[in-house]
Amino acid sequence: MAGQSDILRRLGRAVTRGREEILRILAESPLPLTPRGIRDKFTDPKPDAATVYRNLALLSSLGLVRSVALHERSRRYEATEVGAHRHRVVCRSCGRIEAFPARECDLSRIENDIRSRLGFRVTDHSLEFFGKCPGCLGKGNRP
């Protein structure tokens, strides 16, 4: 059941500490992480930033991780779960991020429209909500 490492081997890519750790770190994180945040979670010796970027690109291309575009300075990554995906809520006041499994996410009507009107074949989507978290709602604070 070493699933993901097998995928790497099967494709002729080496299984290295960097790759296994990235997968583990992301699988254990409740939130998508930035490349920087991922690197910070390594125990020493930490890999070079370039290696983290290269491995995220590789794992992305294999579908093992997925990048998330919130409206931030840096991109974030999350582990992909088989047959599932997540949506996110971002607090515009404090930046807090919550991710939640997208059960019964039905965007098929929209996807069908896209197919028939624009001719695009949609393979996936990303949906983010923005607003205020409970903490920031409480004390009426910084916009």
Partner DNA sequence: GCGCAACTTGCAAGTCTTTTGCAAATGCAA
Partner DNA sequence: TTGCATTTGCAAAAGACTTGCAAGTTGCGC
Residues in contact with DNA by CB under 7 A are 8-9, 12-19, 34-36, 45, 47-51, 53-55, 57-58, 73-75
Residue 89: what are its φ and ψ, rounded to 5°? -125, 130
Closest approach of a second copy to the CB of residue 1, in Å: 28
128 near 90, Cβ under 8 Å? Answer: yes
Contact flag: residue 136 with Zn ion (CB under 5 A): yes
35 near 46, Cβ under 8 Å? Answer: no
Binding mask 116-135 for Zn ion (x = CB under 5 A): -----------------x--
By C-beta, is 2 or 69 nearer to a second copy?
Answer: 69
**Residue of the chain from 94, 105, 122, 127 that contacts Zn ion (CB under 5 A):** 94
Largest CA distance in the chain: 55
98 in the Ramachandran plot: left (φ > 0), alpha (ψ -120 to 50) or beta? Answer: beta
Residue 84 in 3-state DSSP?
Answer: strand
| Binding site residues, a second copy, CB under 8 A | 67, 69-71, 75, 87, 89, 91-92, 98, 100, 105, 107, 110-111, 114, 117-134, 137
